[in-house]
Structure 1
Amino acid sequence: MIRTPVRAAALLAATLAMAAPAMAQTQVNVVGFGAGFVWADLFGPSGTEKTQKLLDFEKKEGITINMEFADEEVARQKVLLDLVNGTGNYDLVMLGSDGAVQTFSAAGYLEPLDGHLDSAKDYFDASKVYKPFLEANTVDGKLWALPYYSFGAGVVYRKDIFDKYGITEFPKTTEGLETALQTIKDGLAKDGVTDVYPLTMRGAPGEEPTLDLAGFVYAYAGYPAWFEGGADTPAAIKEKKAKPIFTGDFKPGFDTFVRWAKTFGPPGIATHTWVDMMNLYAQGKAVVLMPSAINAFAGIPGSNVPEVKEHSAFAPSPTGPSGKAVQSFWTFSIGVSNFSKDKDAAYKALAFMTSESAMNAFAEQIGWPYTTYPSIMHGPVLTAKWPKTMLDQIEASFTDADPHYFPYIPELTEFMNQVGTAASEAIAGTKTEDQALSDLQGWAEERMDRAGYYK
């Protein structure tokens, strides 16, 4: 049989194709928390079952996404160790706009994303996302992470109990709300109700209360009153040699947060986290949950108390004496490690995992009236579940927010921990408010001096 050169070449190509292994997939390793809660559309309810949606992405892009879930604290420690040691075990790392983004970007541990935004617009188009959620992940003019689930400030309250005690409209100011909380407290006591409390907030030691407490400080001072003159970046602090003011303009908001927790909160509030807030409200044991209203929406679906399901209402966060609203703003965000061996592939995976499709699936699964995309906020999933007025008010809590209502400094993680612990100690009564703030002031001055801000 005569073989032509063309046929011989074709046979050789076919033989080589059969003998050669399939082109290797690029591996993208991810670490985070919330298995079955986040990305259930990609990894199933257990966090280990790749869905067809994910498999289709992997096949199309030649990228294999390896997801590692852990408890929240464990996941945070894994991120910290991987970045500090520069090992690059994880290409995508779970962050958060309340310290990790600021600290890790300043240390050079993260890849700036601005140069990647045009490379995967089919998945993530920044122009379609609420801008404040991107601003929350922006430090020194660079974007360091993309947001997944995120929230702004607000109040969820029991309208039936407000009505019972003659409060027909939710107060618009902190002064008015404090009066209303006292009215409810007195009414509950008169009626012999001993297991329902006017207010639930979080007061556990550590960083957690600071997200909300800083919002009170902002509302009372009218600016991020942590450093003199409102300096809130390393450059501004160094230029002005701005000292901490925790015993100054920071104090009125701090005192109010502590007073409300002690006066209107349940026993043990000095140990309460967001989980306790959620559970107390869901159990019908709290009348008002603020200013992280999302924690009430996390509890309402599983509540066994009919009144909680039927009479929960949302209100915008009240304004303080400055005219600024109490803030609470956070994004569950994910960044690309600067030690990733393939940052382009890592970003493409990130864009897919924070895409409009992914967030729509999250809305379908969880149903909270919160999303990073206006198209989903006003889309069929959420509008079928929540009143338009509520969705508009919650949307305003994003668009009207100041995501930088606390300083964006590399030491923020340490400050968040110290501020939250000071509040917890004051709530518990182990220190007076003045003592807690004096100790915080001394620590902050030493820490900033040691960091070289005042040379």
Structure 2
Amino acid sequence: MSIHFKQRALVAACVASFAASPALAQTEINVVGFGAGFAWADLFGATGAEKTQKLLDFEKEHDIVVNMEFADEDVARQKVLLDLVNGTGDYDLVMLGSDGAVQTFSAAGYLEALGPYLETAPDLFDPAKVYPPFLEANTVAGELYALPYYSFGAGAVYRKDLFDKYGISEFPKTTEEMATALQTLKDGFAADGITDVYPLTMRGAPGEEPSLDLNGFVYAYAGYPAWFEGGPTTPEEIKASKAQPIFTGDFKEGFSTFVNWSREYGPPGIAGHTWVDMMNLYAQGKAAILFPSAINAFAGIPSSEVPEVKEFSAFAPSPAGPSGKVVQSFWTFSVGVSAFSKNKQEAYEVLAFLTSEDVMRDFAEVIGWPYTTYPSIMHSPTLTDKWPTEMLDQIEASFYDADPHYFPYIPELTEFMDHIGTAASSAISGAQTIDEALDELQSWATERMDRAGYYK
């Protein structure tokens, strides 16, 4: 047998062996979140379980399989918590929020800092193209821990026809003017015998639900994040000055206004209302103003069956409190890389894709809200063909006017948000007076901070 024949036979055998062997396994990246049919409908379809060609093309190009697990919001949050606390790493990417999860989980070492990864997939995600406050909201102690998907700033949506009917010429620019307008609407509804429309819809359910907006009131009235003496917002600042909680101090005026407005001008049952109730009440034409998380009105307007809601809804910037600072409401629906992921680089590539300009443009097309994380989308026909330019400019200004850190970024933030919201709900319902609710909150906060070692 010639040497050439032997070589050809060896090559043929190798080729046959390679062809018979299984293909190299693709890296699987597991994601957990909520909002099937809403979040990433352009990638996972209306049911959350139908991969679109766009996603399949990404998987093929990057040799990655993306496994998305959707659940109800509370269930998804519990799955994230359990996976991170136990360090199992079942989920490579976890859905978070800039109102507690990012701060708490990053401090615990459960999230991967994203700084080292940002330059590894510039074709997918370029932070320079995103509104800076949305990245700032996900930054703790100088480190970026999550990327924003949908996000919003403060503002109000109101019924201009009702304002005109009762002689309110423009939306209030201050909280003092706002109180006057609310009373005018209440009196007008009463005089006309209207019993099923209310001046205001906000959220007051127990737990963390009201805290995002309530703390915005506190900020506007006090002029700073008034949780601790002197207004420190980081653990280092609190420890350095041994700043004690002040929930019965400068925190009180904003808290009281939120509670009193809910009681006086909100609908029955507001002490149990979530953002969904806000959305539905406005969409049903049962509220003249939705405030300060205006995005919840835009979620309801498209499905409203009330012609006046569709025709006369207008956006207005958030009013300023006595301090001159505007009432805040700022949040990002964020996604981070688990510190326990075994495939962090691939996980980041998927994250970069999920929050990319291209994917966010599709989200804006599907959902149609006048909100996006990218200026290029805000000023493109994707949104300018749907909404007035003046409105888009005002909403964009609310992003830049925001102080994402209008509450302290501490590891205990999730617990604090839960207790603050529950205190507000209790006071709104009348189960406690404002003073009783704040005294209890003050006592809990002092003990919690002491137990955490802030005052050693």
Partner of 1:280: 281
2:442 partner amino acid: Q
Quote the offset at 1:17 in angstroms. Answer: 2.9
Residues 185-264 of structure 1 correspond to what in structure 2 (within 5 A)?
A: 185-264=186-265
Question: After the TM superposition, which of the residue ranges 343-352 and 3-12 deviates more from structure 2?
Answer: 3-12
Partner of 1:132: 133
Quote the offset at 1:343 in angstroms. Answer: 0.3
CA distance in 1, matches of 2:13, 2:382: 55
Partner of 2:319: 318
Query: Does 2:291 match 1:303?
Result: no
Quote the offset at 1:20 in angstroms. Answer: 2.1
Quote the offset at 1:9 in angstroms. Answer: 5.6
| Partner deviation per Cα, 1:22-74 (whole Å, 9 max, x = no partner) | 11100100000000000111111000011111111111101100000000000
CA distance in 1, matches of 2:328, 2:421: 15
CA distance in 1, matches of 2:174, 2:374: 29
CA distance in 1, matches of 2:439, 2:299: 36
Residues 104-143 of structure 1 correspond to what in structure 2 (within 5 A)?
A: 104-143=105-144
CA distance in 2, matches of 1:12, 1:130: 57
TM-score, L = length of structure 1? 0.99
CA distance in 1, matches of 2:178, 2:240: 39
2:429 partner amino acid: A
Quote the offset at 1:207 in angstroms. Answer: 0.3
Percent identical residues: 76
Quote the offset at 1:10 in angstroms. Answer: 4.5
Return structure 1 stretches of 4+ with deviation > 4 angstroms.
1-10
Residues 38-49 of structure 1 correspond to what in structure 2 (within 5 A)?
A: 38-49=39-50
List gaps (5 residues or longer) in structure 1. Answer: none
| Partner deviation per Cα, 1:343-395 (whole Å, 9 max, x = no partner) | 00000010011111111111011000000000011111100000000000000
Quote the offset at 1:14 in angstroms. Answer: 2.6
Quote the offset at 1:454 in angstroms. Answer: 0.2
Query: What is the DSSP-based 3-state SS (H/G/I as helix, E as strand, rest coil) of the residue aligned with 2:398?
Result: helix
CA distance in 1, matches of 2:347, 2:9: 41
Query: What is the DSSP-based 3-state SS (H/G/I as helix, E as strand, rest coil) of the residue aligned with 1:228?
Result: coil
TM-score, L = length of structure 2? 0.98
List gaps (5 residues or longer) in structure 2. Answer: none
Query: What is the DSSP-based 3-state SS (H/G/I as helix, E as strand, rest coil) of the residue aligned with 2:200?
Result: strand
2:323 partner amino acid: S
Quote the offset at 1:21 in angstroms. Answer: 1.3
CA distance in 2, matches of 1:118, 1:112: 13
CA distance in 1, matches of 2:120, 2:207: 39
CA distance in 2, matches of 1:340, 1:384: 41
CA distance in 2, matches of 1:294, 1:5: 73
Residues 1-400 of structure 1 correspond to what in structure 2 (within 5 A)?
A: 3=4, 7-8=8-9, 10-400=11-401
Query: What is the DSSP-based 3-state SS (H/G/I as helix, E as strand, rest coil) of the residue aligned with 1:68?
Result: strand
| Partner deviation per Cα, 1:169-205 (whole Å, 9 max, x = no partner) | 1110000011011001101100110000000000000
CA distance in 2, matches of 1:368, 1:9: 63
Quote the offset at 1:4 in angstroms. Answer: 5.1
Count of residues in correspondence between the two structures: 455
CA distance in 2, matches of 1:225, 1:420: 15
Query: What is the DSSP-based 3-state SS (H/G/I as helix, E as strand, rest coil) of the residue aligned with 2:151?
Result: strand
1:396 partner amino acid: A
CA distance in 2, matches of 1:48, 1:113: 28
CA distance in 1, matches of 2:96, 2:85: 14
Quote the offset at 1:11 in angstroms. Answer: 2.6
CA distance in 1, matches of 2:72, 2:254: 32
